[in-house]
């Protein structure tokens, strides 16, 4: 039974990195001259109490203002189109409200990361920015091909430069946050007997109390894996009640029956180390969680004014 959290990533499919990797792809939609999606955005992003104040005056229409810095409305509209393009060919697509909510939240998170990168002393000089753009032009083959790519991906030159700068700054800050995860952390190695029904779990518990071998029962109940959960750090399993039990037990100890939404578990701890090397999967999962926690804190401590309906 798979209990580990799937690896998730902060960046959405319409991020600048994905666009760069898909250079030369044909446009799948034609955007109107003045795209104005019908956002029904009641954003999932929490704003501070000051967000009810009058927006800071800006020289350009803004979809949102993050700590006094606007997210241009045109950037938001074009990012919506880029996201919609990325969904071409999918049978099930989010509705307009979901797309708009995802885009504005993504752009707010990007802005927060970029702002923090500048506080940390990171800068992207004009010459470095131009070097990156020249590299893309060379990859595409010509300036005309690059201009076509910009048009196909709903960019003009100024917006692309802004987007690439923000994406680079945000990526730098994500790397700083990810680097806070050490190579080794406290971890437990455990296995489980998993039953779908309470009756099955009770039968297993009675057998264990009668002297049956845990490993043999684990293979009987989970013949594909023997109930092996492997090594895992805190915050890694899908079901915190299982994880909490594993970290609270002594080595060799076993839990009572633990109920989760998928069934019933009996856990046995095989090893517990204060600093065990992380697997790549676990490291990415912890980095993702750390990034999400950082963003939640940044959002709570920022003035975020959303100006789209």
Q: Break the chain into its structural domains and give their ranges.
A: 16-180+292-306, 184-277
CB–CB of 11/204 below 8 Å?
A: no
Torsion of CA 8, 12, 16, 19, to 10 degrees: 100
Of the options 3.40.640.10, 1.20.1250.20, 2.60.40.2380, 1.10.4030.10, the CATH number for the domain spanning 16-180+292-306: 1.10.4030.10
pLDDT score at 4: 56
DSSP string, 81-94: HHHHHHTTT-SS--
* pTM reported for the whole predicted model: 0.77
Asked if domains 16-180+292-306 and 184-277 share a fold, the reply is no
Helix residue spans in the chain (DSSP H): 16-21, 73-86, 96-119, 126-140, 143-152, 157-178, 198-209, 214-221, 240-248, 280-300
pLDDT on residue 31: 44
Are 80 and 99 spatial neighbours (Cβ–Cβ below 8 Å)?
Answer: yes
Q: pLDDT tens track of the chain, all 309 residues? A: 556 554 433 434 344 444 443 443 444 444 433 344 433 333 334 443 334 344 445 478 999 999 999 999 999 999 999 999 999 889 888 999 999 999 999 999 999 999 999 999 999 999 999 999 999 999 999 999 999 999 999 999 999 999 999 999 999 999 999 999 999 999 999 999 999 999 999 999 999 999 999 999 999 999 999 999 999 999 999 999 999 999 999 999 999 999 999 999 999 999 999 999 999 999 999 999 999 999 999 999 999 999 998
User: What angle is formed at CA 92 by the lines to CA 90 and CA 93, rounded to 5 degrees?
Assistant: 85
pLDDT score at 3? 63
- Check residue 61 and give left, alpha or beta (phi > 0: left; psi -120 to 50: alpha): beta
pLDDT at 72: 97
Fold classification of 184-277 (topology level): Chitinase A; domain 3 (3.10.50)
């Amino acid at each position: 039974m798979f209990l580990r959290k799937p690896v998730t990533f902060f960046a959405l499919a319409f991020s600048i990195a994905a666009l760069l990797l898909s250079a030369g792809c044909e446009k799948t939609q034609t955007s109107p001259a003045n795209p104005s999606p019908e956002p029904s955005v009641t954003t999932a992003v929490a704003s501070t109490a000051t967000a009810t104040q009058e927006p800071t005056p800006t020289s350009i229409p803004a979809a949102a203002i993050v700590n006094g810095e606007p997210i241009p409305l045109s950037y938001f509209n074009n990012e919506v189109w880029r996201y919609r393009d990325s969904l071409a060919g999918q049978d099930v697509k989010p509705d307009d409200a979901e797309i708009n909510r995802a885009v504005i939240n993504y752009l707010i998170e990007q802005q927060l990361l970029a702002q923090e990168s500048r506080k940390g002393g990171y800068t992207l000089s004009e010459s470095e920015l131009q070097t990156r753009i020249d590299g893309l032009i060379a990859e595409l083959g010509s300036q005309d091909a690059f201009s076509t790519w910009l048009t196909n991906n709903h960019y003009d030159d100024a917006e692309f430069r802004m987007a690439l700068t923000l994406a680079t700054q945000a990526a730098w800050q994500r790397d700083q946050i990810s680097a806070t995860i050490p190579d080794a952390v406290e971890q437990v190695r455990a296995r489980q007997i998993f039953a779908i029904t309470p009756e099955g779990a009770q039968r297993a518990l009675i057998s264990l109390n009668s002297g049956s071998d845990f490993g043999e029962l684990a293979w009987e109940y989970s013949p594909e894996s023997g109930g092996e959960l492997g090594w895992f750090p805190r915050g890694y399993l899908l079901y915190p009640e299982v994880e909490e039990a594993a970290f609270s037990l002594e080595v060799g100890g076993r839990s009572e029956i633990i109920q989760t939404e998928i069934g019933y578990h009996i856990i046995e701890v095989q090893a517990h180390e204060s600093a065990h090397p992380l697997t790549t999967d676990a490291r990415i999962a912890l980095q993702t969680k750390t990034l999400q926690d950082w963003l939640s804190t940044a959002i709570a401590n920022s003035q975020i004014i959303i100006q789209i309906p």
